[in-house]
Structure 1
Amino acid sequence: MASDSGEAESSSADIKLQFAPFSSALEAGFWHKLTQKKLNDYRLDESPKCIKGYYCNGDPVGLPTRLTLEFSAFEVDGSTPAHCCAAVGKLYNTNTLDAFKGTDKKALLENESKELWNAILSGEALRDPAVLCRFILLTFADLKKYHFYYWFCFPALCFPEGIKIIKQPAVLEKVFSTKQIAALQEAYDGLCIKGGTTAVPYFLIKYTDDAIHLALLAEWATFFPCTTKVTVGVYDPCTLSQHPGWPLRNLLVLLANQWGSMVDTVEVLCFRDRTLQGIRSIQHSIIFQVKLPELPTDSTCPKSVGWEKNPKGAMGPRMVNLSECMDPKRLAESSVDLNLKLMRWRLVPSLDLDKVVSTKCLLLGAGTLGCNVARTLMGWGVRHITFVDNAKISYSNPVRQPLYEFEDCLGGGKSKAAAAVDRLNKIFPGVKAEGHNMSIPMPGHPVNFSQATQSQAQKDVEQLQKLISEHDVVFLLMDTRESRWLPTVIAASKRKLVINAALGFDTFVVMRHGLKKAPAGQNACGGDASSSLSCSSASSSSTSTPAGSAASVTGSSLFSNIPGHKLGCYFCNDVVAPGDSTRDRTLDQQCTVSRPGLAMIAGALAVEMMVSILQHSEGGYAVASSSDDRMNEPPTSLGLVPHQIRGFLSRFDNVLPASLAFDKCTACSPVVLDHYEREGFDFLSKVFNSSHSFLEDLTGLTLLHQETQAAEIWDMSDDESI
């Protein structure tokens, strides 16, 4: 075994003591935990962090002297594995590979050595000998490739000259009798019980043929009143028969500093406690005598060594590649949110990712908008996505709907809901995606043709109610205006917020529905008040014409500073009830004909609006931001929380209007919600099977039309009389 560079070369007449250096054993769990710490806690912080490793002395012959760091290394105050000694160290995790390479290793070692030397001078090392076993770990974690670069150092103070061996190491069973070995084992166990541990790193020994006594280092003065012979013990992790392990080095420096003037010869017992095939044995421990060299008299810190050699035997770092051995799904889990966590490092430190990731999103519609919304949700780390759609994939879909391919169109086409779920799982196996192939009953689409039709409609309603109850955010992404009516009513009743996206040829609207105030004793989301969503919801629709052209007629004109519970829904700006919008329409009128980029823009904005709502302290009750607020201090770390975003692609412009809820709305007005909550499906059946006049009569829209018409006639008669 080669001597350390810090020790003098052995002369031909003297045999110098050599030590088995530590071999770092960093388990995969350590790198997993470091990855989490780097992303969630350390971020760009390169200051040293306290970590803990351990070593044991029960390894079979042939294994290296290991210092192990595992998943629990970051829990410094946590327990140490049984029959192991703790070693506390400092982690220096750099942000770049260049910083890792450029770190002044010599300075790190010198600083740690000075702390160790000061602990010896002050007596701290006597009171807590564990400080003699400290280490440094310099790392760089490439979290894109899962390559981890590291360099391990165990600082050891050196004597100006080598340590002379007076009596060669011998196996304990050749020096101690069987009785003495048994007594030593019993005495060590008693010392561990006294110290409340299963392993004591350093101890003092006195022995005779009949008895053996052990004590802690701090008891030196009373344990060795006469210094004619001194024996010290070290819990030794080395398995070599002629060499001690690294922990002995700093102990000898401590002895030379504290008692070198009184003792120049020390007997050392390298205590090795091995259990093989259920039988415990310490007979393979070794014992030898050394002469303590003198330390400098000026109290300057001795020279130190300790940086670990690389696998080639040269002074240099090591690298471990975990990308191949790690479970690909676990790699995806930790990598998919990398961009999000990087946001918090510099750009948005206050970003609450947990609220986003834990949000359960229901997507009603798996078409052009649905596919784009789903992809953007996954980009934000949302794990729970549920699709509802009753259509099959046609040949015109894949080019506009990014979750489908040509093969999905063959054989009549796969179910959109099922195919969307399959594709999300292929993109990211960690997503919890569900698909439901079902229809949503609509006003103007009768369901009373037969008992079976009526029964199926009732089942669809019950299923939709269940799904909306189970999710935090509802996205309405269907093709027609009337298909959004029932989800709007259910979501309003259950206090689920909705974000609604609707498309024209080159225009779109993305809006959040007003969140109704909950009855006394019920939280805003109709459930547990601790919900991470805190009352947020969203809805989108893919329709041929954006809603909301009648604000001035209905009285829901544009305002500012409207709180969330007073905001209108998609139907609040309409003065007619929804009906069958596809009847007697040409193909271009039945389909959503829009510029290809429009759905991507609207879908992305719908999700971004949802995330902004989640970041607001009041969730869905947040006051609506308007275009006038663009120059003001934003209410969330991500910016504004508008009621509506109306886009005009022809002039590449967006405006942010806000409008009040309409008391005669055919979807969210009190009279509609009251009938729905009291009568349930009976009320809904009347809406489905009747003409649009049913809802207009119920809400007072019919009377409003009549009054408006009368006022116009009166104005005309006045004009004629002038």
Structure 2
Amino acid sequence: MASGCGEAGSAAADAKLQFAPFCSALEAGFWHQLTQKKLNDYRLDESPKCIKGYYYNGDPVGLPMRMTLEFSAFEADGPTPAHCCPAVGTLYNTNTLDAFKSTDKKGLLEKEAKEMWDAIQSGTAVKDPSILCKFILLTFADLKKYHFYYWFCFPALCFSEGIKIIQQPSPLDQVFSAKQITALQGAYDGLCTKMGATAVPYFLIKYSDDALLVAPIGDWEIFFTQSKKVTVGVYDPCTLSQHPGWPLRNLLVLLSYRWGATLETVEVLCFRDRTLQGSRSVHHSIIFQVKLPELPHNSACPKSVGWEKNPKGAMGPRMVNLSECMDPKRLAESSVDLNLKLMRWRLVPSLDLDKVVSTKCLLLGAGTLGCNVARTLMGWGVRRITFVDNAKISYSNPVRQPLYEFEDCLGGGKSKAMAAVDRLTKIFPGVNAEGYNMSIPMPGHPVNFSEATLSQAQRDVEQLEKLISEHDVIFLLMDTRESRWLPTVIAASKRKLVVNAALGFDTFVVMRHGLKKLRADQDTGEESSPSCASSSSSSSTPAGSAPPAPGSSLFSNIPGHRLGCYFCNDVVAPGDSTRDRTLDQQCTVSRPGLAMIAGALAVEMMVSILQHSEGGYAVASSSDDRMNEPPTSLGLVPHQIRGFLSRFDNVLPASLAFDKCTACSPIVLDNYKRDGFSFLSKVFNSSHAFLEDLTGLTLLHQETQAAEIWDMSDDESI
């Protein structure tokens, strides 16, 4: 029981009125909404925010008087639960626990009390008595541990000499007749309807044996014209039989300041509207009389109280720990998103996280690159990740491929695609991961003509087509050059964004493929031809390594739909790159840190592309753009990143699509669209000459050789 400011109890004749204080009731939904507001709206903003709570006057005896804040507290104009009285508050949410502790609580209380006192003096509180029911909430949200610190305050102005009780509180049914009680219920309901409110916090009452009238506080002058007796009503959430609740305090200060000089006593009715066994009853309301001390009009703002005591009964804040009662999966999701949202607060305010999180990623290859790409995607909050791989985990894998462990190698090894899915789910249960243990048919790797073999290859192609259609970004992360051909063709045909990563020993290439437009939308202009210096790339580099950058095909300001793909740099069609090769040439032998670097850059390139207004159609950034204004909030959007670990150097070349490309040229895509699997089976079962003849590379080779012979003969003639 709080009295405050000298309002100590005494003998009956000199009894001073005491008030039951509010107990804060902040529901879990409130903290959830505060979390969302902090992450998405407030961020580092510590300015005061308007919130709304409510209190109820129908609780059974024994319950404390509660000020409730729930998930709707941040909707200041939102609805209030039926039969509840709204209260407007001010939220001060601090960024650190130190700021929470060092906040000037006395200053906050005095500021709110001064505003209330000014409203009383100006008459604003007469027109809008809800001003007398305001509250303060000071908070700090530790969103890493889900610990919420808070301190609640209901500011109340104090009389220095207290309020003398003239007539002790009595149950309403000892003063009012049954007829008057019924009339009171009807009159109050009518007042609520008239004012469009779920509950009216303060009201005026006139009653006799035959009639009972109520009116809002603002009607004082016309309501009490001739009556010498003044009765005021307060919507009272207190359940104690001898004490009113906290909301009465500020009303009595208002009455004393505005009309205290003409009032000897004031009768107070604490209106309590309880439902018992389905029947409404106000019989437990109490009524009493008090003598108000006079407040001169030139008096300063009275002292104020109102900060809530902690559970130990001392003046101090409270803390609620929601980490134990929240679903661990929900906690994980919120925590995963926390780092990303923190990036927006100070560093990248314009970052569009929804574009990243909602992106569906298909990872073709679950080896060293695939594992690192998957982990980085999860770091960016990507929820949908699908693996395709037909290999099993070997003893050499776990040290380089972070999604696997030694136990995964036993018994012949688990499927990489399936094991990767299991590990991602253990790392973060909120991820939607799938795995497909399947092969990707490749040029130069003949498909037997038996019906069963052809049928399986066709099913693999159909499955790959379906997966590429269902995803937004396709990552090519395989070991061999030829395994990238089919997904490149399918993705180009379906106009899907492709991000390619390939490794050498101490070099890598990360690139985005040009994103094809509909033929009618293509702009005019000649496509580039690659340098003949790259013609030997398929035969001179180990499996999985990056083809060398073209020499004469480097340009600037290339729009995304005219950029080349992985195969545009070559004048040799893909074939079986592992045939007749030693073990070190069949495997991707790389410096151990290279895959982590390339995998991370592949994901970062994807995110930068998604942040560009034109997405995959964005103009390619080059090394020359490093000193210019970046096109996205995250920086450049290159076509290629070519890294040289021995020099610790990266370059950003950009090259045009090649009109004789064996993967993305119009003639290849037209044949694929027209003939489908029959065209693909010819590619699989033929040598590289088939694609070279189709695209015109054979003719290009012949013309090049003829030119070389002509040059040689000229030299000899000299």
2:121 alignment partner in structure 1 = 121
Q: CA deviation at 1:544?
A: 3.2
Give 1:48-127 correspondences, 5 Å limit: 48-127=48-127
Contact in 2 for aligned 1:626/1:642 (Cα 8 Å) = yes
Give the letter aligned to residue 423 of structure 1: R
Residue 487 in structure 1 maps to residue 483 in structure 2: no
Q: Deviations over 1:152-186 (max 9, x none)?
A: 00001111210111110011122212222122112
Give the letter aligned to residue 705 of structure 1: H
Contact in 2 for aligned 1:499/1:606 (Cα 8 Å) = yes
Give the letter aligned to residue 49 of structure 1: K
Q: CA deviation at 1:449?
A: 2.8
Supply the distance in 1 between the matched residues of 2:401 and 2:550 (Cα, whole angstroms): 33
Give the letter aligned to residue 706 of structure 1: Q
Q: CA deviation at 1:460?
A: 1.2
Contact in 2 for aligned 1:164/1:291 (Cα 8 Å) = yes
1:18 alignment partner in structure 2 = 18
- The verdict on how the C-alpha distance between 1:8 and 1:182 changes in structure 2, with shifts beyond 3 A counting, is closer
Contact in 2 for aligned 1:478/1:543 (Cα 8 Å) = no
Contact in 1 for aligned 2:398/2:404 (Cα 8 Å) = yes
1:463 alignment partner in structure 2 = 463
Structure 1 stretch 594-603 or stretch 437-446: which is displaced more? Answer: 437-446
Q: CA deviation at 1:586?
A: 1.9
Q: Deviations over 1:289-344 (max 9, x none)?
A: 11111113314211111011111111111111111111111111111011111111
Instruction: Choose the corresponding residue for 2:618, options 615, 618, 622.
Output: 622
User: In structure 1, the residue corresponding to 2:14 is in which secondary structure?
Assistant: coil
Supply the distance in 1 between the matched residues of 2:118 and 2:145 (Cα, whole angstroms): 41
2:528 alignment partner in structure 1 = none
Contact in 1 for aligned 2:386/2:435 (Cα 8 Å) = yes
Q: Deviations over 1:370-415 (max 9, x none)?
A: 0000000000111111111111111111111111111111222211
Supply the distance in 2 between the matched residues of 1:543 and 1:138 (Cα, whole angstroms): 63
Normalising to structure 1: TM-score of the pair?
0.95
Residue 241 in structure 1 maps to residue 237 in structure 2: no
- The verdict on how the C-alpha distance between 1:337 and 1:543 changes in structure 2, with shifts beyond 3 A counting, is farther
Supply the distance in 2 between the matched residues of 1:111 and 1:431 (Cα, whole angstroms): 48
2:194 alignment partner in structure 1 = 194
User: In structure 2, the residue corresponding to 1:361 is in which secondary structure?
Assistant: strand
Contact in 1 for aligned 2:363/2:475 (Cα 8 Å) = yes
1:7 alignment partner in structure 2 = 6
Q: CA deviation at 1:10?
A: 4.7
How many percent of aligned residue pairs carry the same amino acid?
86
Q: CA deviation at 1:8?
A: 4.5
Residue 577 in structure 1 maps to residue 561 in structure 2: no
User: In structure 1, the residue corresponding to 2:370 is in which secondary structure?
Assistant: helix
2:217 alignment partner in structure 1 = 217
User: In structure 2, the residue corresponding to 1:261 is in which secondary structure?
Assistant: helix
Instruction: Choose the corresponding residue for 2:691, options 684, 689, 695.
Output: 695
Supply the distance in 2 between the matched residues of 1:700 and 1:276 (Cα, whole angstroms): 91
1:354 alignment partner in structure 2 = 354
Supply the distance in 1 between the matched residues of 2:542 and 2:460 (Cα, whole angstroms): 22
Contact in 1 for aligned 2:9/2:17 (Cα 8 Å) = no
2:229 alignment partner in structure 1 = 229
User: In structure 2, the residue corresponding to 1:551 is in which secondary structure?
Assistant: coil
Supply the distance in 2 between the matched residues of 1:264 and 1:330 (Cα, whole angstroms): 60
Contact in 2 for aligned 1:159/1:294 (Cα 8 Å) = no
Contact in 2 for aligned 1:506/1:650 (Cα 8 Å) = yes
Give the letter aligned to residue 421 of structure 1: V
2:661 alignment partner in structure 1 = 665
Supply the distance in 2 between the matched residues of 1:129 and 1:309 (Cα, whole angstroms): 26
Q: CA deviation at 1:230?
A: 0.8
Contact in 1 for aligned 2:2/2:21 (Cα 8 Å) = no
Q: CA deviation at 1:642?
A: 0.7
Give 1:150-299 correspondences, 5 Å limit: 150-299=150-299
1:551 alignment partner in structure 2 = 550
Q: CA deviation at 1:70?
A: 0.8
User: In structure 1, the residue corresponding to 2:53 is in which secondary structure?
Assistant: strand
Count of aligned residue pairs for this structure pair: 699
1:650 alignment partner in structure 2 = 646
Give RMSD over aligned pairs: 1.5
Supply the distance in 2 between the matched residues of 1:413 and 1:198 (Cα, whole angstroms): 67
Supply the distance in 1 between the matched residues of 2:422 and 2:182 (Cα, whole angstroms): 66
Give 1:316-327 correspondences, 5 Å limit: 316-327=316-327
Give the letter aligned to residue 497 of structure 2: L
User: In structure 1, the residue corresponding to 2:165 is in which secondary structure?
Assistant: strand
Contact in 1 for aligned 2:17/2:165 (Cα 8 Å) = yes
Residue 716 in structure 1 maps to residue 715 in structure 2: no
Contact in 2 for aligned 1:516/1:565 (Cα 8 Å) = yes
Supply the distance in 2 between the matched residues of 1:221 and 1:296 (Cα, whole angstroms): 20
Q: CA deviation at 1:212?
A: 1.5
Supply the distance in 1 between the matched residues of 2:674 and 2:124 (Cα, whole angstroms): 76
2:597 alignment partner in structure 1 = 601
Supply the distance in 2 between the matched residues of 1:261 and 1:2 (Cα, whole angstroms): 27
Structure 1 stretch 471-480 or stretch 205-214: which is displaced more? Answer: 205-214
Give the letter aligned to residue 658 of structure 2: F
Residue 427 in structure 1 maps to residue 427 in structure 2: yes
Contact in 1 for aligned 2:9/2:18 (Cα 8 Å) = no
User: In structure 2, the residue corresponding to 1:260 is in which secondary structure?
Assistant: helix
Give the letter aligned to residue 345 of structure 2: W
Structure 1 stretch 657-666 or stretch 623-632: which is displaced more? Answer: 623-632
1:528 alignment partner in structure 2 = none
Supply the distance in 2 between the matched residues of 1:614 and 1:219 (Cα, whole angstroms): 61
Structure 1 stretch 93-102 or stretch 288-297: which is displaced more? Answer: 288-297
Normalising to structure 2: TM-score of the pair?
0.95
- The verdict on how the C-alpha distance between 1:445 and 1:160 changes in structure 2, with shifts beyond 3 A counting, is same
Give the letter aligned to residue 647 of structure 1: G
1:678 alignment partner in structure 2 = 674
User: In structure 1, the residue corresponding to 2:252 is in which secondary structure?
Assistant: helix
Give the letter aligned to residue 427 of structure 1: I
Q: Deviations over 1:676-704 (max 9, x none)?
A: 11111111111111111110000000000
Q: CA deviation at 1:358?
A: 0.8
User: In structure 2, the residue corresponding to 1:337 is in which secondary structure?
Assistant: helix
Residue 364 in structure 1 maps to residue 364 in structure 2: yes
Supply the distance in 1 between the matched residues of 2:520 and 2:126 (Cα, whole angstroms): 65
Structure 1 stretch 346-355 or stretch 118-127: which is displaced more? Answer: 118-127
Contact in 2 for aligned 1:505/1:544 (Cα 8 Å) = no
**Which stretches of structure 1, 4 residues or longer, exceed 3 Å deviation after superposition?**
7-13, 519-522, 542-548
- Structure 1: state its 5+ residue gaps: 523-541
Q: CA deviation at 1:11?
A: 5.3
